[in-house]
Amino acid sequence: MSTAPVLPVSLSPHVCILPSPDLVELLEQSSLPPLHQLFQAFSPLPQVTTRTSTLTTVTHTTFPLRFSDYRDVETTCREDENSRAERTIDWIGQRIGKRAQAWVEEAEKEDYTKGTAISPWWLELDRCIEGDRAPSRHEVILASSTVAPNPLQAVTELHAKYNEMHLPSWVDPSRLCHTIIIHPSNSPLNSDEAMALYNATKKQYGVHTHLLSVSLSPPDAPIAAPSLLPELPLSPLPNTSFTKRPETQELHLSEEDVSQFARFIREFTTMSLVPWMERSVMEWNESVSMALYPPVHTFNMSWNSIPLAAG
């Protein structure tokens, strides 16, 4: 077993969240951020083990994850690339320009030429690039709750909505689809009914299904969460709505709920996401190998199909 170098955020798995309306309302009533921002607070994960294409086991001391709202990603991917590139450059320039004077004063006190420290403007550029929500590929979590009038129908409608949403052809269509059902303590369903819903969902949509039981009761005091990466502001496209991203986060979660969410993120990563990634890499390698080195019988069939010239 070897230890891998730090995985940069830009190369980390990108997971898109598509929440049901009942879950969106539940989180708002609980004074919680949207689910993708809530999940982001639990990244990076410590001590995650993966396997390379040669089946070598590698341990990552930190394993970052990126979470986005699927609707935001869909809207972002529809924007013209040149227009978005221009907006991105202007946006980064504005962010750096606002802080330039303070950074210059700081640079006069610290010597950045010795290579012992990274300049703050470079760190800001790095954060802006890492926060890009447009993916080349991504995985999906479809999230609903047990507070819906008909929870099973809510899950069905969520999957139907996901199947109707299409990203551009350059986004890899092969992706993991995971379903999570959040079961709060004030749900009209009891534990047995919630478990029956989970079993029905798992039977219908596969093993990548999770039932997350939480209280969502207001804590004595909110807990601080890591700041979110900056993201390019709203697209100029008409009829688009993005989820708001606060500069700082406070989570109104009890310690027990924090443990429950953290446990789900780790189980999702180690039991669904990482195995899916490893299998995808193996399939890609096999496809490339087949393209470069076709089986011997292919050459025999091709040779036998060539007619012999009459002697």
Taking only the tens of pLDDT, the chain with its 311 residues reads: 566 667 777 778 889 999 999 999 999 999 999 999 999 999 899 999 888 777 788 888 899 999 989 888 888 888 888 888 888 899 999 988 888 888 888 777 766 555 556 788 888 888 888 777 676 667 889 999 999 999 999 999 999 998 888 777 767 777 889 999 999 999 999 999 999 999 999 999 999 999 999 999 888 788 888 888 888 876 655 444 545 555 557 888 999 999 999 999 999 999 999 898 888 777 766 776 777 776 655 545 554 555 544 44
pTM value surpassing 0.85: no
Query: Does residue 61 form part of some domain?
Result: yes
How many folded domains does the chain comprise?
1
Residue 249 lies in a domain: yes
Is position 68 within any domain? yes
Please tell me the distance from the alpha carbon of residue 288 to that of residue 290, in angstroms, as a whole number.
5
On whether residue 85 sits in a domain, the answer given is: no
**Domain-located, residue 86:** no
Domain of 185, in residue numbers: 2-80+137-302
- Gap between the Cα atoms of 270 and 213, Å rounded: 20
Q: Is residue 95 part of a domain?
A: no
277: in domain: yes
Q: Residue 58, Cβ neighbours under 10 Å: how many?
A: 14
Assess if residue 10 is contained within a domain.
yes
